[in-house]
Homo-oligomer: A and B are copies of this chain.
């Protein structure tokens, strides 16, 4: 039976439910959506640093605890915030029920701590919505086909929300966070930064992977694939946030700016290797070894210098540097340099696909500020440059102004 009323999914992160007062405020927010005539499903994360505290307890017991037991342990955090939120809603005179991931019908594979959602059995949620209840679902978790509790990994609550919105054919999925939406640049860095009314999935994907922390990459991918409209907004006021969707492009494409935003990331390090033999398989061997150790490589630049001796540079997460050093030590006859004092600045915009010269303009703006570009990487809707970390603020401000984003 198709559910008749409009369903909306609201997701609140750990800071939004960080203490009892905040949970009461979330209850008010949820009730306002209910009073707009919607059927409301809410996804919650664990309160504040609960998850980290539980992980800390496990760390006192075992250096490498079983992932199944870790999931059993940390999944309790979302059940606590979920039941407290249901109580807060009931206290204000509305009907509500909280469900674990398993009770909500979220079935995953058995990859504990990093499980993927296989399907969602929506019967229970729909039954509760028909009884006019506000349904709270513990985020970040599910059960495998054997009934064991699994978790979806960091950022999993975003994924839970989008997956539920898909399964329930929700009108939209709201991601409540501690900022007002997605900005043309980090407002802490660029005063003139402005909130974006709407962006496409691809732009949001590039933003999420280039340092904007408002929503988890995986959830955006899921939303894009299933065409779930996202609304990223503040949990502290009722202002409109940023809508993420593709439909608006059909008619307003020409009026959209070429560039949507400027982002940056200071969490990467640049690794350079000199004196590599320039023959097939050398790079594959190197990146194969890094992948074995689960080290994610971002930008890669290779060039032959002289006498068929190649130099290769790439960036990795700063926290992976110690592990990368171990891998590199095993390589013979090469010289390596690691620079952690770098930053990546990116411009993002679906409009650049049909506007040549965007890259040239970016390089010119940086050159005018005498900022040296060490590496470059591009996608159809993004251009990233690696520069010295101490120049990052200047670069972001210059690009924001240069592309007239204010």
A interface, CB within 8 angstroms of B: 20, 23-24, 54, 57-58, 60-63, 65-66, 68-70, 72-73, 75-76, 79-80, 82-84, 86-88, 90-91, 97-98, 100, 103, 124, 147-149
The CA of A83 and the CA of B54, in the complex, are separated in Å by: 11
Q: What chain B residues lie within 8 Å of A68 (beta carbons)?
A: 97
Q: Please, which residues of chain B bring their CB within 8 A of the CB of A90?
A: 62, 65-66, 69
Residue among B23, B24, B79, B88 making CB contact with A76, cutoff 8 Å: B79
Contact in complex: A61, B91 (CB < 8 Å): yes
When the two chains form their complex, are residues B97 and A61 in contact, meaning their CB atoms are under 8 A apart?
no
Question: Which residue in B23, B58, B124, B149 is a CB contact (below 8 Å) of A84?
Answer: B58
For the complex, give the distance between the alpha carbons of A97 and B339 in Å: 44
**Is there contact, CB below 8 Å, between B73 and A61?**
no
Tell me the complex Cα distance, A61–B82, Å.
Answer: 13
Docked-complex contact B84 and A80, CB < 8 angstroms? no
A328 to B72 Cα, complex, angstroms:
49
Contact of A83 among B72, B84, B91 (CB under 8 A): B72
| A76:B72 contact, CB within 8 angstroms | no
Q: How many copies does the complex hold?
A: 2
Bound complex: CA A79 to CA B57 (Å): 13
Chain B, residue nearest A75 (CB): B79
Whether the Cβ atoms of B69 and A54 lie closer than 8 Å is no
Q: How far is the CA of A386 from the CA of B311 in the complex (A)?
A: 92
Taking CB atoms, residues of chain B closer than 8 Å to A76 are 76, 79-80
CB-defined contacts of A60 to chain B, threshold 8 Å: 20
Q: Which residues in B have their C-beta under 8 angstroms from that of A65?
A: 87, 90-91
Report yes or no: A84 in contact with B98, Cβ–Cβ below 8 A.
no
Residues of B within 8 A of A61 (CB): 20, 23-24, 84, 87-88, 91
In the assembled complex, which residues on chain B have CB atoms less than 8 Å from the CB atom of A62? 87-88, 90-91
- Tell me whether B82 and A72 are in contact (CB under 8 A): yes
A147 to B124, CA, bound (A): 10
Question: How far is it, in angstroms, between the C-alpha of A73 and the C-alpha of B87 when the chains are bound?
Answer: 10
Cβ 8 A contact of A147, one of B80, B88, B103, B149? B103
CB of A198 to closest CB in B, whole Å: 36
Contact B87 A58 (CB under 8 A): yes
The interface residues of chain B lying within 8 Å CB-to-CB of A84 are 57-58, 61, 69, 73
B80 touches A98 (CB 8 A): no
Name the CB-closest residue of B to A60: B20
**What 6 pairs between A and B have smallest CB-CB spacing?**
A76-B76, A72-B83, A73-B83, A62-B91, A65-B87, A69-B83
Please measure, in the bound complex, the distance between the C-alpha atom of A69 and the C-alpha atom of B138, giving whole angstroms: 13
